[in-house]
Every structure is written in structure tokens, then in C-alpha cells.
Amino acid sequence: MKKFPTGIRKRITEINSMIDRVNQLDEIPCTYAGSTFPSYIQLTGNILIKNQFVYIQEQKGRWNWGFDRRYNVNEDGSFERLKYDLSVIYRTFRKELRKANQ
């Protein structure tokens, strides 16, 4: 097993620190992220790290983003998908929190 990437761990910590504030917003965060239709990001809890696996729990819905339930950082395809999904979550949460503070 490889060592868990520090950058991914830091990004997950940043996102987890935003979840409570985002869940208190009036609107559900949404993103277009390369699509022409909006997708909602509704996380039901913190992003978890267990060994080489990362778990993102999302509320199920027709228009939600559709995160994988488990990512393996030792598999290239899964790791790349995790990096992309974390960047989408981070950008969307940051945008919504900035908008709420204006």
C-alpha cells in the first residue's frame, strides 16, 4: 500500500470544515462542472478516510452529482476521479459560501 497523499488529506479536511456552514445555507449548492444542466451537491456527512479508501456519502436524488461511494487512492482511475470530485465539491462550496457572505 502506498502512503496516503497529503494534498488529498488536506483538501478533505478543508471540505469537511465547510460542510456544516454549507448545510445551513438557504439554497442547495449546485454546479455545472462541464455540463449544461446543474447538479446538486448534498453531502450527508463528513468525507471519511479509512486506509487507502475515501468515502463520500451523498443524499440520493435525481439531479445530484452522483459521487462514487468509495474511492481507492491506489488505483489510478479511482484516484483521478477522486481528485476531480473533490475539486468540484471544494469550488462549489467555496462559491456558495462567498455568495452567502455578500
Task: Report whether pLDDT(66) > 90.
Answer: no
pLDDT for position 64 = 85
Q: Give the pLDDT mean for 40-58.
A: 94
Distances (CA, A) of 13 to 6, 9, 28, 29, 39: 11, 6, 21, 19, 23
pLDDT score for 61: 83
Per-residue pLDDT at 23: 92
Which residue shows C-alpha cell 449544461? 36
pLDDT for res 95: 95
Position 63 scores a pLDDT of: 84
Q: Which sequence spans correspond to the domains of the chain?
A: 6-96
Q: What is the pLDDT of residue 85?
A: 93
Q: The whole model's pTM is what?
A: 0.92
